Amino acid sequence: MKNTQSIKFRNFAITECKGSSRLYEFLSLKITEDDDILELASHAREGQPSPNLLFGAVHYLLLKGKDHPLKEYYPSIVSNPRKVEESFLPFKEFCVQYSDEIIRLLQDKLVQTNEVRRCSYLFPSFQFIYDLVKKPIALIEIGTSAGVQLLWDQYSYSYGANNVYGNMDSALHICAEIRGVKTPHLQDFIPPVAARIGIDLHPIDVRDDDNALWLKALIWPEHHERRELFQKAAECVKVNELHLIEGNGVELLRELAEEIPKEYAICVFHTHVANQMPTDVKTSLLDQVQQIGSEREIFHLYNNIQDRDLHLDYYLDGKEYKHVVAETEGHGRWFTWKL
């Protein structure tokens, strides 16, 4: 078990944190060699990414006001954090001191990141989908958490140039870099959205302060802009109508699809969710989309099934199409368009 946890933290440091969070990269590499912290992390729910969950639990307790020297290393809490290289000992002391509370969080909470900046690549993807079908889009998001991505059409966007797209009146503006030679065909219109349905095993109501604090705790300490974007997205969620359902999105998909009139195009989407699905669940999801596609048009926009890239599978007139849409950075800061 400890060896498995050690591999998870090493991979997390190398593939997720490097170049993005010096604090979590350093701590993760130290944790790979510390049996006590590895044992603590093993209390995470099965299927949950234990590094994200452990760091989220510690961050949450600090944001709640735990008075401990560890807070001096967190840019989310102090304006002039101490050196990352000195952070492991206070981190371990904090984990030992508050181990009971951390274990409860590891067992009760889920990694439910609400990275609204990922809408930077969802926006051109939905424009592409609308161009194909010319019907209002009925959104079904699996693993929706608080539902901030269901409101992708309520935000404005820019991609390194002067042009701004999307909702010009939005208080939330998302900037992202498009890398590579290809660019999406960005247009000055917003595809019409007919329905916004979000499904999650544990949907989060951001009007509850404690729920909102947990989601903030999942944002890495150095990522100030992510926190600002999340706060604006949460305010947007509070004033818009979303249909959030508690349940298993894969199991409910067929039933929900049958309730959507055929004058709307179904678009099932999820980002950084399928990595928490067992292989048989991923297979079941793809099979269900295919079955629905034999009866009506349906679009499936996703990543983390075959690989980390953004994919679009869709069915028009019973014919199957599959595309790789983009290579994407995990937090939506950049993407490489491939369509």
Q: Mark whether 194 and 280 lie in a shared domain.
A: yes
Q: Residue range 323-332: average pLDDT?
A: 94
Residue 196 has pLDDT above 80, yes or no: yes
Residue labelled with tokens 């006001």: 65
Q: Mark whether 136 and 260 lie in a shared domain.
A: yes
Q: In this predicted structure, what is the pLDDT of residue 1?
A: 65
Lowest mean pLDDT among 43-47, 262-266, 287-291, 334-338: 43-47
pTM of the full structure: 0.85
Domain count of the chain? 2
d(CA 73, CA 96): 17
Residue 24 has pLDDT above 70, yes or no: yes
| Cβ-proximal residues to 213 (8 Å cutoff; 6+ apart), any chain | 60, 63, 64
Q: Quote the percentage of the chain above a pLDDT of 90.
A: 93
Residue 112 has pLDDT above 90, yes or no: no
Domain boundary among 59, 84, 108: 108
Lowest mean pLDDT among 55-59, 153-157, 277-281: 277-281
Q: Mark whether 207 and 303 lie in a shared domain.
A: yes
Residue 85 is part of which domain span?
2-108
Per-residue pLDDT tens over the stretch 270-318 = 999 998 899 999 999 999 999 999 999 999 999 999 999 999 999 999 9
Q: Mark whether 33 and 125 lie in a shared domain.
A: no
User: Which of the two residues, 174 and 331, has the higher pLDDT score?
Assistant: 174
Residue 259 has pLDDT above 90, yes or no: yes
Per-residue pLDDT tens over the stretch 212-253 = 999 999 999 999 999 999 999 999 999 998 999 999 999 999
Q: Mark whether 257 and 146 lie in a shared domain.
A: yes
Residue labelled with tokens 């199957």: 320
* φ/ψ (deg, to 5) at 196: -130, 100
Q: Mark whether 270 and 249 lie in a shared domain.
A: yes
Domain boundary among 108, 125, 154: 108
Per-residue pLDDT tens over the stretch 63-77 = 999 999 999 999 999
Residue labelled with tokens 């991923």: 282
Name the region of 301 (left: φ>0; alpha: ψ -120 to 50; beta: rest).
beta
Domain boundary among 78, 108, 138: 108
Q: Mark whether 139 and 99 lie in a shared domain.
A: no
